[in-house]
Amino acid sequence: MSSNSAPRTGDDVDLAGLRSTRQRRAVLRAVARIDVFASSQTIHESLRRSGDHAGLSTVYRALQELSERGLIDTIRSPDGETLYRRCVDSRHHHLVCRRCGQVVELPSGQVDLWIEQWRQATGYADIQPVVELFGTCPACQPTEGA
């Protein structure tokens, strides 16, 4: 990893065991370009617009594989869609604007600490940090006057 890994611009990334195909590279590039959380379909569409067409199922598969390998981030929107975004930092949580998808990263230390407390208090194992907050970012808020 420390030898030939270029920065993650989306093209010459180490795919963690996956074959480097045109489609996967394109997906990674698209995700790198969009910097809000986007659905598989949105990403698929973005690919088509940039001329890098890939089949919808391929996009679904690629996004899943890439997120499994930690190359991209995943969350679930309140209405059940899976959203993806370029991975900024491994373990962290998000505050996502429900309208534009804009993201604020929450300091992970605090969340983890907090989950750890509950793990100890309750005996629950393998607690998944489903701590994703959806709100309306300042830019998307209706003006007070209206």
Distance CA 31, CA 38 (A): 8
Distance CA 126, CA 100 (A): 32
DSSP state of 139: G
Interface with its own copies (CB under 8 A), residue total 32
Q: Which of 19, 138, 145, 146: binder of its own copies (CB under 8 A)?
A: 138
Quote the Cα angle for 130-84-76, to 5°: 35
Instruction: State yes or no: residue 49 binds its own copies (CB under 8 A).
Output: no
Instruction: State yes or no: residue 76 binds its own copies (CB under 8 A).
Output: yes
Find which of DNA, its own copies, none residue 62 binds, CB within 5 to 8 Å per kind.
Answer: DNA
Which spans of this chain sit near DNA (rule: CB under 7 A)? 18-24, 39-41, 53-58, 60-62, 64, 80-82
Local structure of 100: helix, strand or coil: coil
Sheet of strand 82-86, all strands in order from the earlier edge strand to the far edge: 38-39, 82-86, 72-76
Q: What does the binding site for its own copies look like in residue numbers (CB under 8 A)?
A: 76, 78, 80, 82, 95, 97-98, 104, 106, 110, 114-115, 118-119, 122-138, 141
